Amino acid sequence: MTYYGRVNLPDLDALRRRLDETIESAYRRIQQVEHSTAELREKRARDAERLTDKQIEAMKAGILARERTPEWQVVMERIAKGDFSWRHVITSYFAGTMDPDVKAAFDSLSDVPPLTPEQREKIKAELNKAEAQEAEAAAQQQDEEHGPYGGAPRSPYGGTGGSVPRRPRPDDWDDDDFEQFNFLR
């Protein structure tokens, strides 16, 4: 410490060293945070690309079920024009790479009330119903393509085209088929 008259002056060189150390420490911490943030953004982008169609539909339904804000109206018009898809909107939200209109739309959701439990259950029920219909349609298509019981594909000339007999259908039966049986004896 340097004395100047009766006033104690601190050692300026020591203060400068301490200040430099503090600034260096803060700078290293900022770099660590920036690195962690970059890693998190990359992970979120990878995770966003893995979203299933069902997850996208659920999020879309949740957005559409809420009160429509002017910002969402702009986004929906752009989707209708083909500027981007619902998948793009939702994955860009998770990846943090949103278009300014999409960012404004998501930010506007804080101004409207959240979904009620009843609305959430209704959305789940509708999604489950749609999923069941899709599964039923896929099963029916598979049955038409591969024949009953997952057998050989159907032949255009009747039968299954293989050694597996064709499963009888209700329209295959005539009244004549039952004449030989008298169930009333």
Q: Are residues 33 and 92 in the same domain?
A: no
Confirm whether 146 is domain-assigned. Answer: no
Q: Residue 2 falls within a domain, yes or no?
A: no
pTM above 0.75, yes or no: no
Same domain, 69 and 103: yes
Name the residue with higher pLDDT: 153 or 74: 74
Is the domain of 66 the same as that of 120?
Answer: yes
Binned at pLDDT 50, 70 and 90, residue 77 comes out as very high
Q: 4 forms bridges with which residues in the sheet?
A: 7
Q: How confident is the model at residue 182 (pLDDT cuts 50, 70, 90)?
A: very low
Residue 114 tokens read as: 């959240």
Q: What does the alpha-carbon distance between residue 93 and residue 28 come to, in Å, rounded to a whole number?
A: 29
Number of domains forming the structure of the chain = 2
- pLDDT tens-digit readout, 18-63: 999 999 999 999 999 999 988 888 887 777 778 788 888 888 888 8
Same domain, residue pair 77 and 120: yes
Same domain, 82 and 108: yes
pLDDT band at 7 (very low <50, low <70, confident <90, very high): low
User: Quick check: 115 and 122 in contact, CB under 8 A?
Assistant: no
CA distance 97 to 18: 40
* Residue ranges making up the domain that contains 99: 53-125
Question: If you average pLDDT over every residue of the chain, what do you get?
Answer: 77
What pLDDT is stored for residue 185 in this prediction?
42
User: Is 117 found in the same domain as 65?
Assistant: yes
The domain boundary, picked from 109, 125, 141, lies at 125
At 172, the pLDDT band (50, 70, 90 cuts) reads: low
Indicate whether 106 belongs to any domain: yes
Q: Each residue of 102-138: b (16+ CB within 10 Å) or e?
A: bbbbbebbeeeeebeeeeeeebeeeeeeeeeeeeeee
